Structure formats: structure tokens, C-alpha cells
Amino acid sequence: MNKLCLKTLCAAGLAGGLFLTSVAALAADPLPASMQAKVETYKKKLVEWAANPVVVAAVKEANASGGLAGMTNAKWNDLEDTDPAVKAFEANKAGVLIRKWEEDSGINKLIVRDEKGNVVAASSKPLIYNGAGRPAFGNPIKGQVWAAPEIKPDPTTGVKSVQAGAPVMDGGKVIGVIHAGITAQ
């Protein structure tokens, strides 16, 4: 292949990449001021919930156990919602508490994760078992309360939401994350 063809292909690839980036930016709704205020309210709630002794104890226990042996996101995806492994995250003490908090119509999902990003507690089966690569985990595990700057359909619930998360702390050390889909309605 000659240099002219390579330059043409590179230019076409760059243009296509810029186009896709532009389309992706248009797909997300900007965060209006009223939604930003709602997000700030829920960020405070997430910090409060993350400090709950039941949540802290569940995360500490999960960190000590290392999560479900051999569980991957692919294996998790194959599990039915009624599988005992899934139900265990809903039935543990933190899962019961999460279900209670999730009765708040302002959120459509609430998940607690350990220091590696594995599920510790949820009110229903999250889309993925390990969320370590997601911003809702990656920012709070660094000790930051975080919220996405846009409204997008939640990957688990499909509801238009703003993703937010807060660190779960134990004695000043980040040990896990609690994150939510804040409903945009």
C-alpha cells in the first residue's frame, strides 16, 4: 500500500472517530440546573448511606473474603436473577438496607461494591458483577464523591439517570463504594 493510500485511510479513520465522538456527545442529555441540585442532594445521601455501620461491615467482610470465587462478569451475566448467588446479595443485611433505601423514587438502582469493584449488596441483580472499570466505581474508590455530568440511560435499569457514587470508609481508609442511578424525571 502506498503512502497516499495510508494517509487517506488515516484521515478517514480520524474523521470517522471524530464523527462517532460527536454522535456520542449528542446522545447524552446535558445536566440541567434542577437535576444538578437533585444530584447534589443524593451525593449527600450516598455519603450518609456509605457510613452506615451495616454497609461498612458488609464491605469489610467482602474484602476479607475476596468476593465470589471464580466469578467474572461473563459468568455473572449467565446467572438468572433467581440464582442463589444473586439472591445472596439481596438477602444479606446490607442488601435488605439497600432495598429499603431504594424505595426512594429519586433513585432507580443502588449497589455496594468492595475494594475490587465486586458486588457486596444490591436490591436486584446489577448488570455486571465487577464494576472496577466504570467511573461510578473508579472515582469514589479514590476517595471522591462523584457524579456523571450527563443524563444517560442506566445500563442496568434502562431509566434515564445520572450515575453517582461515594466511597465507603473505615477509619479514614476507602474500603469500597456505594453507587446509584439517580432518576432524571
Q: Which residue has the higher pLDDT, 5 or 92?
A: 92
Q: Of 17-26, 60-69, 117-126, which range is least confident?
A: 17-26
User: Per-residue pLDDT averaged across 36-48, rounded?
Assistant: 97
Q: Is residue 11's pLDDT more than 90?
A: no
Give me the DSSP letters along 23-41: HHHHHSEE--HHHHHHHHH
Single-letter residue type at 160: K
Q: Full-prediction pTM beyond 0.85?
A: no
Residue 184 has what pLDDT? 93
Residue range 83-117, pLDDT digits in tens: 999 999 999 999 999 999 999 999 999 999 999 99
Residue keyed to cell 443524593: 42
pLDDT > 90 in the chain, percent: 78
pLDDT band at 68 (very low <50, low <70, confident <90, very high): very high
Determine contact, residues 95/31, Cβ cutoff 8 Å. Answer: no
Residue 19 has what pLDDT? 43
| Average pLDDT in the chain | 87
Cell of 160: 434515564
Determine contact, residues 45/102, Cβ cutoff 8 Å. Answer: no
Give the residue extent of every domain in the chain. Answer: 1-29, 31-183
Determine contact, residues 121/97, Cβ cutoff 8 Å. Answer: yes
CATH code assigned to 31-183: 3.30.450.20
Residue 185 has what pLDDT? 76
Residue range 123-178, pLDDT digits in tens: 889 999 999 999 999 999 999 999 999 999 998 889 999 999 999 999 999 999 99
